[in-house]
Chains A and B, each alone.
Chain A
Amino acid sequence: MTLPTPSAAASLEVTDEIGSIPDSSSNPKGSESRSPGRLAWKRFKRDRTGVISAYIVIFFFAISICAPLIAKLYGKNPYEQYGQEKDGLLNDFAFPVKPNGGIDSNFWFGIEPQLGRDVFTFLLYGIRTSLMIATAATLLTTVVGVVIGITAGYLGGRTDYFVGRVIDILLSFPSTLFFIAFMPVVYGLFIPFSDEVPTWLRATSLILVLSAFGWASIARLLRGQVLGLREREFVEAAKVTGASSRRIVFKELLPNLWTPILIQSTLMLPAYVTAEAGLAFLGVGIKDPTPDWGVMIQRGAGFYADDITFMIFPGVSMVIFVLAFNLLGDSVRDALDPKSKR
């Protein structure tokens, strides 16, 4: 085994990842942090589907962040029961008087049957809740998965075996069943059983439960990657030059793992959005009157046969969001990792 100098090791790291770009080894730090990213960005910008879906995704995040502002300009809020307060909006059976769910210039997306809330603001705030929970869960899952995966792969031996078995078990858990079974358990950790569960706790528990079952797949993937990287020369070199484990993990291994981490988390977020909505639909996640994508679908399910319009808005917007995010995920993968073609 030869002893490469640290700078040679660093340049090896870059060429391994990118394949064939000529890098300036005189300044490995600069090229390391910029040019692979810039190359990927260039590839991404050329991908028209990817750019359009990125705009759609940004649009969804923007309206969810600006929801209070938009609601203020629009002059309504998601909690007030307009149909109950004003006459002429809901008929005797508590359904909107006007056709198509009561859509008019005043209520852009119509009025909710029975309670008579404004669909537009309810959807806006619902997207906000769902995206906040899904984003938080994605971040937490990624961090936990990355830490455990890298640790297991790097340490190897008994730790690796133990983590591997835990992952095996987690992946054989029937996940939806466990989500619904353990939401009450997590509530119980914070407040006495049979108390009313506040919304912040519901959201926190959702994030915790989703992450508790989600980290396994990303950890397994990274463990495999680290197992391969661990034996490579640049890691050997770092070890020989006396680098600490911490340095090796953060400075040598992690830069090589950003690609799979980024790809996995862009695929994870839409999955969490649908999972969160699914739980709300089943009545174990966020609950009415808190606006939420899944809550809207659950409400809509109650009167789908009489007023399908109410369900169309949350349903279609979710399909558009998930589709755009999936396409974005594919484009991000193609841009970062051009070798992998589906």
Chain B
Amino acid sequence: MFRFLVRRIIGALVILLIISAVTFMLYYAIPRDPARMACGKVCTKDLLEQVRQNLGISDPLPVQYWHWLEGIFAGRDYGGLGNCNAPCLGFSFTNREPVLGTIMDRLPTTISLALGAAFFFLIIGVGTGMIAAVKQGKAADKIASSFSLIGSSLQIYFVGYIAMFLMVQQLGIMDQPSYTPFTDNPVAWASGLLLPWLTLSIIFTANYTRMTRSQLVEQLSEDYVRTARAKGLSRRSVFFRFAWRGAMGPIVTIFGIDMGTLIGGAIITESVFSIQGIGRLALTAVDANDLPMLLGVTLVAAAAIVFFNIIVDAVYALIDPRIRLA
């Protein structure tokens, strides 16, 4: 297990290195002056020259990238902008705030959104899938399957507004989505995020229902399930201790992928509900050509995806001893 983790983490770091390098290079590939953008709207000649100095714009690209990398591990001195301790992702072009600090400010919002939504879509999705598998071919199965089909065709940028219109505007039974830190007021935290959680879970549930159902149906027709029943074990314990255990693997896999994408920035969701998380941060960074911020967010988002993949593989091996980690 330990060797597996070390190897995968090294692999993940290589991938992150490449992703950041690609972002860096591509972003400088267009002919435009990053110093001019970093300098902001009120920019004098002297100031521009100083910004050029601070950013090291005159260096060749690989050297600039190297400095950026160096900043992460050793910190970096930005001259006029101030000193930045390791791990340093630089300063935003637009508001001169440290990138890492801004990301850390926004991260709890995104994580709250992802975890809450996951709580709902896991319970609803897996639960519905289980019912559909047990009642295979009956009305409950058909209803669950149809709902999951419709759910998987819905888009957050449509359903989100419809949900806000109905629940907030018309019926008034839910609060306008907003984020309050959990530590400030847990009730406001939950009620502010309830609508985004439920809307996201409508869309994500479908996948889990389908997957749980098909996996369980397959497992329940296996010989070992019949043997266990023949030995006299109750339906319930065969279902949970045998079939469900065998069915869990692929569900864990898609859960890991979904969590990676959600924490990496649910850009559209955050835009629909006007929640200021990582996704919104990325969107404003792109609009403002704020390269350091964009690089930082990309790195965090890619890291979320890559590390959830590792966790998934490890958990998979814990659930299913047939899979050896190599």
Segment of A56-64, A71-79, A224-232, A275-283 engaged in the interface with chain B? A275-283
Closest B residue to A327 by beta carbon equals: B149
Residues of chain B within 8 A of A282, CB atoms compared:
267-268, 271, 283
Are the C-beta atoms of B265 and A177 separated by less than 8 Å?
yes
| Residue among B26, B32, B162, B302 making CB contact with A174, cutoff 8 Å | B302
Q: In the docked arrangement, what's the CA distance between A327 and B150, Å? A: 10
**B237 contacts the other chain (CB 8 A):** no
Residues of B within 8 A of A (CB): 15, 18-19, 23, 26-27, 29-32, 149-150, 152-155, 157-158, 161-162, 164-165, 169, 210, 214, 261, 264-265, 267-268, 271-272, 279, 282-283, 286-287, 289, 294, 297-298, 301-302, 304-306, 309
**Chain B proximity mask over A316-329: 1 for CB below 8 Å, otherwise 0:** 00110011001100
Segment of A11-19, A135-143, A187-195 engaged in the interface with chain B? A187-195
Counting residue pairs across A and B whose Cβ atoms lie within 8 Å, the total is 120
Closest A residue to B150 by beta carbon equals: A323
**A297 contacts the other chain (CB 8 A):** yes
Residues of chain A within 8 A of B279, CB atoms compared:
176-177
A162 → chain B, closest Cβ, in Å?
13
Closest A residue to B161 by beta carbon equals: A304
Residues of A within 8 A of B (CB): 168-169, 172-174, 176-178, 180-182, 184-185, 188-189, 192-194, 270, 274, 277-278, 281-284, 294, 297, 300-301, 304-305, 308, 311, 314-315, 318-319, 322-323, 326-327, 342
Are the C-beta atoms of A311 and B286 separated by less than 8 Å?
no
Are the C-beta atoms of B164 and A304 separated by less than 8 Å?
yes
Residues of chain A within 8 A of B18, CB atoms compared:
169
Q: Using A301-B161, A326-B153 as known contacts, say yes or no to A176 and B305 having CB atoms under 8 A apart.
A: no
Are the C-beta atoms of A284 and B286 separated by less than 8 Å?
yes
Are the C-beta atoms of B298 and A319 separated by less than 8 Å?
no
Are the C-beta atoms of A192 and B289 separated by less than 8 Å?
no
Q: In the docked arrangement, what's the CA distance between A89 and B27, Å? A: 47
Residues of chain B within 8 A of A182, CB atoms compared:
26
Q: State the majority secondary structure of interface residues on B.
A: helix
10 pairs, CB–CB < 8 Å, chain A vs chain B = A172-B302, A174-B298, A180-B267, A185-B27, A274-B155, A301-B157, A301-B272, A315-B161, A318-B158, A342-B210
Residues of chain B within 8 A of A176, CB atoms compared:
265, 267-268, 279
Q: State the majority secondary structure of interface residues on A.
A: helix
Are the C-beta atoms of A318 and B155 separated by less than 8 Å?
yes
Q: In the docked arrangement, what's the CA distance between A178 and B261, Å? A: 12
Q: Using A172-B309, A174-B298, A181-B294 as known contacts, say yes or no to A305 and B165 having CB atoms under 8 A apart.
A: yes
B220 → chain A, closest Cβ, in Å?
15
Known: A174-B302, A181-B282, A318-B155. 8 other contacts (CB 8 A): A176-B268, A177-B265, A180-B282, A185-B27, A282-B267, A305-B169, A315-B158, A323-B153
Top 9 closest A-B pairs, CB basis? Answer: A188-B30, A315-B158, A174-B301, A323-B153, A193-B32, A174-B264, A322-B153, A304-B161, A281-B157
Q: In the docked arrangement, what's the CA distance between A186 and B272, Å? A: 26
Q: In the docked arrangement, what's the CA distance between A278 and B158, Å? A: 10
B6 → chain A, closest Cβ, in Å?
18
Closest A residue to B31 by beta carbon equals: A193
Residues of chain B within 8 A of A284, CB atoms compared:
286
Q: In the docked arrangement, what's the CA distance between A304 and B162, Å? A: 8
Q: Using A174-B301, A281-B271 as known contacts, say yes or no to A192 and B31 having CB atoms under 8 A apart.
A: yes
